[in-house]
Structure formats: C-alpha cells, structure tokens
Chain A
Amino acid sequence: MYILTCFKVVPDLDKLSGSSWTIDDQLNIETAFVSKMINPYDESALEIALQLSDQITTSGTTAELSAITIGNSQADLYLKSLRALGYKKACRINCSIDLRFNPEYIAALIGAYIKQNNPCDLILMGRQSGEGDNAKTPFITAEIIGWPCIADVLKVDYISPKLISVTNLTDNGILRQTVKLPCLLAVGNAPNSHLRVPTLKTIKTVGNEPARVIEDKNLIKFVKPGQKINGAKLLGLELIDHTRQGIIIEGNSAEEKALLLYNNYLKGWLADNGL
C-alpha cells in the first residue's frame, strides 16, 4: 500500500507574546525568531501513517510511506527525521510565493505531484494549518484528483491491501467506516497520535543525504488549464485583543485567596445567574 502524507512546517504561534506581533507593510508577521513545529494535525497524520504501516507489516504485506511538504528549506530538518522514522520518500516542493492564504496552489501542486509518477493509494493530510487557518487543502486536493475524502479522521486501521477502517468525528457523532482505497483522509483531533521520535541510531543511518527537492514550476506546468491556483487575496491583518480586567486576587494562603474569590465574586455571580 502506498501512503502519502502531506505536512506543513509552521511557527509555534503560542510562543509569540502579545507584544512581539509585528505586521509589516507586506502584511507579513515576523516569526523568524520563534521555534518551528510540524502543524499539529499533520503531526497526527504522520503518526497515523506510521501506525498503519506497522499494522500492514505485521499482517505480512508491505507499505511504502512518503511525505511531502511545500515551502522553503526550513522543512528539510523535518524531512530528515521523517526518513529516519521510516518514510522512504520524503520530499519538499520548493516554492517562494506566499502560501499562507493559497490552499488552491498547494492542492494543485500536490495533485500534480501525484499525477506525475508517484503511485498512491491513500493520502493523509491535516484538517487545518496555520498561518492561514484555511481548512481547505484536503477538500480541494480530493476534488482535483477526483478521489473521495473523509474529514476529521481520528483513527485508521488496516483490513486488507485495498480496504481500511476509518474512524472519524462527524456532526452526528463518531463514525467507523470500512473504506475502499483510494481515499484521502483529513486528520482531526486524533487522540494518542503524538509523532514518535527517531532514535539517534536511525538518524545516523539516514546520514547527511540532502532532502529531495522539486521546484514548483516543474510541477505547476502539469496543472490542468483553467484550474484555480489562486486563493483569497489578503488585504489586512490586525491583532485580536483578548484583554479583560485581569484583577489578581492576592492572599497569604490558598485558603485566603479561595475565600476572597468566593465572597467577592463567585457567590454573587452564581446567585445572579441562578447557578
């Protein structure tokens, strides 16, 4: 079974404190000094692919894992550790245009990559990624390649070379389905899907081989004429202010603070609201 996972490297925005958000004239945010991470949903997707591959191997068949990311060289370090984890092909599509609000372009590249010569039975993506918070790429990709897709996936299990079991969260509850491949899955808040860490030994086996890089212009020429490759145009960005009163209750002990909280606020609020 050929399994492809698409992931994005994003700045850890929770590390930016309120005062360090600067928006420049081009509407870019300075994030060079914040740590990077794999988008949390993509991290789950990468781990789910590994778990599925483990199950497939146990059953005596073979799985081939690949991972792709579209962006600049900051992803290369992650590609290396994915290779150490068992991703046989891990490549980056180099791209210098602003991708933040352009899931159409990303999906077009992923579609072209698959159609190019990369066999694939199952595609895993995340449900949403920063900075655009677009929540669109998996659905557009599915439409471009004409595959069915399932949203908010929580768990994937192997059944047979062309069948998998997919558990996902729907507006009606948690659904488990037996799904015939090919299919595209958008991974949601999947419990117990923290990406495993490669060992030093496996990292060494990968060596210093550079990441495989494909230029976007070599792929975009395979995009169907007329296919939409431009996303929404960004006109403005503004910091959202969440500030409230922030009254700090001081006291000498936990008991004193709790009592102040209760007497001065909670008791009245609870009573006012009939709680």
Chain B
Amino acid sequence: MDFKYILNACSADYPARLSEACAFINAHLKILSDIGKGTAGEAIIFYCHSADREPDFTGLPLQRIKLVKLNNYQPELALSALFSIEKDKPAELYIFSGNQTGTELAVRFSCRIGGSSLVDIDKFELHDSHLECYKSVYSGYLKGRLILDQKPYCLTPARGIYTAGDKSDDIIYRITKLDFEDLTNINFIKKSEYISKQENNQLEQAGFIVAAGRGVKGRAEIGRLENIATELGAQLGVSRPVAMNAWAPLDRLLGSSGTISRPEICLALAVSGSAAFYAGIEKSKYIIAVNTDDHAPIIKAADIVIIDDYKKILDELVLIIKRDKELKGNAGKALPEV
C-alpha cells in the first residue's frame, strides 16, 4: 500500500505548492509512513515540454519521484495521463496541491478511479476502514469532521495552512521519467491565449496589507487607496464585493476564494469581517479594523479597532505618518503625545 503526492510544475505557483507539499507530508509523516508500511510515498510531478529544464523538487521528503512530461498543461491531459499511470495499481491515498489544478484533478481523478474525495482539508487521520478529515464548512464559520470510506482517498490541503515546510536535504531520490507528450487529444479547445499571466502573488508575500471592503463605495476610492497603500509600503487587498463590482482586479481578492495572506499588519477598512473574507487575513499577526458599525463581526476579530469613518481616520493617519517622517529627518523632535 502506498500514497502519492501529485504536483503540477507547469503552474506559476509551483514553488509555493512544493513548500506546501513538504509541510503537509512532514505534518502527517507518521500517518503517511504507516500507510506506506515503511516505504515512503511517491511524488508524481507534471511538467510541460516547453519548460527549459526538469522541475526542481529538492526538499520533498519522498524518495520516489515520477516526472511526467506533458505537451502542455490542460486538466484533461493531466487526468488522462494520471489515470493511465495509476489505473492498474492504484494507491490508497492521493494528495493533490491546494490550488485550482489540485482541486479539479482530485475530484475528477477520484471519479475515474472509483474512490472518494474531499478538498481543502486542514488535517486527516487514517483508520482501518476510513479516513477522517477536518475542513472548514459553512462558508468558513464552522469546522467539520468528515469521513471518507471509499479508497482511494483523494485530498487537497486547505490553502494557507501548510506553508513553510521544512525541506529534507538528505534524501536520495529514485527518479523515473514518463513522457506523455504525444497525448494532445483535447479537441474541445480550439484556441487558447493568456490575457494576463499570474506573476508573483504580491498579496501572499506582503508584510503590510491595506484591505478595503464594500464600504469604500467606488472604483475611484479604490484607486486612491492603492496610492496610499503604496506610499505606506503596503499592498492593497479587497473583499469580494469590491472585486465583483470590478473596482479592483481579481488578483487583489482576499479570502477563501482569493488570496490567503499572512502579513505582519493588516489594516481592514470598511469590511464587515465575514468568515469567507476573514480566511484571507486571519494569518495576520496584527489586525487593525476601522468600521462605522460597532456590531460588525470584524470588531471582535481584530486586535485594534476604531469605530469611525475609515476615510477620516486614514486621511489623518497619512498626515501623521508624513509628519513623523519629516520630523525624523529633524532630529530631536517627536510627535505630540495625546
């Protein structure tokens, strides 16, 4: 019996997903090696033929690595390749990355292989007859404990939990290579072009985030906030209503369906603090919220709170910071104490 970790090196977030894999495997090592009965699991890594070199997997705490070359990354191609590799002797457990690719592959592969699936799980425990998993449900308000009882189990880790995995550096890898370049039969796609490429996710890496919610009331204000954020050395993130109104681009979306950030400081302006949004900022070290409504859920879920119009507070804050910077240049003087 065995487990497999499936990674997709064609995706822009592969380095982050590789760290996630290391963290996830290390966190579950005891369970995973029980399954493996002493033999460590295997990683199956897809990569594209256009890549100039084979994917880097250093640190992955698995000895067996299968590198699978695809013509290009298309979920249907990866699925067909994975199914043909695994169909004769399926493993007991498959873990896929916590991104879009992983979700789609986990669910569709489990259908093809006759198993069961669950995505975005926080952790799991293996029992003889079933797998017990924990995951956020009810839009992130509740934690659910769920059972899967049909092998193979196909899972994806919840995003933002398994981040900085300790990389293993003493592993001697056994690498097998498979070529599925000839697999090109996706005749439902006639033409395909990227409108914009995902670069580094700046929100994911930011140390300081200004998060703006529906209360900012318009695109022009978002533009102003973006400038202020830049001035403060912060990145601007937004809630779903802001993104849905197209006041800000989608890559600015924070939350369970957007970016899960982990800044030192998050300044949350005019957001109510719904659980789905909060998932995107809950890993912040400090959360400062400004909201006119003292009953908004964000009030209790923040470290520091100001009940006021965010516009007034922010304008004052910008002035104070500016003044402070000037004063710093002017040694000896400090800001007046209130």
Contact = CB atoms under 8 A, between A and B. Distances in A.
Interface of A: 13-14, 16-18, 21, 23, 29, 40, 100-101, 127-128, 130-136, 139-140, 142-144, 148-149, 151-152, 154, 163, 167, 169-180, 183, 188-194, 228, 232-240, 242-249, 251, 254-263, 265-267, 269-270, 273-275
Contacts of B166: none
A167 B195 contact: yes
Contact of A259 (B138, B193, B246, B335): B335
B244 interface: yes
Nearest to A134: B119
Contact of B100 (A100, A170, A194): A170
Interface string B27-59: 000000000000000000000000000000000
A229 to B, nearest CB: 11
B196 interface: yes
A189 B258 contact: yes
A143 B108 contact: yes
A245 B13 contact: no
A273 B147 contact: no
B15 to A, nearest CB: 12
Contact of A189 (B195, B244, B275): B244
A136 B119 contact: yes
Contacts of B273: 242
B204 interface: no
Nearest to B320: A262
B107 A130 contact: no
A273 B274 contact: no
Contacts of A140: 107-108, 111
Contact of B265 (A136, A193, A251, A269): A269
B303 A245 contact: yes
Interface stretch (B171-179, B183-191, B220-228): B183-191
A193 B244 contact: yes
Given A21-B141, A136-B119, A242 B197 contact: no
B136 A240 contact: yes
Q: Is the interface of A mostly helix, strand, loop or mixed?
A: mixed
B301 A17 contact: no
Given A133-B138, A247-B304, A275-B233, A242 B278 contact: yes
Contacts of A17: 295, 297
A225 B306 CA distance: 60
Given A175-B193, A176-B195, A258-B313, A235 B147 contact: yes
A242 B139 contact: no
Contacts of A144: 111
B63 interface: no
B143 A275 contact: no
Q: Is the interface of B mostly helix, strand, loop or mixed?
A: mixed
Interface residues of B, number: 104
A251 B138 CA distance: 37
B101 interface: yes
A238 B145 CA distance: 9
A156 to B, nearest CB: 14
Interface string B1-18: 000000010111100000
B272 interface: yes
B304 A235 contact: no
Interface in B192-228: 192-198, 207-208
B245 interface: yes
B17 to A, nearest CB: 9
B111 A242 contact: no
B207 A273 contact: yes
Interface in B297-334: 297, 299-309, 312-317, 320-321, 324
Contacts of B108: 139-140, 142-143
A169 B12 CA distance: 13
Nearest to A267: B324
B274 A133 contact: no
Most buried by A among B143, B303, B306: B306
B164 interface: no
A228 B108 CA distance: 13
B197 A173 contact: yes
Nearest to A182: B188
Given A132-B137, A193-B244, A151 B100 contact: yes
Given A133-B140, A244-B302, A259-B320, A233 B100 contact: no
Nearest to A258: B316
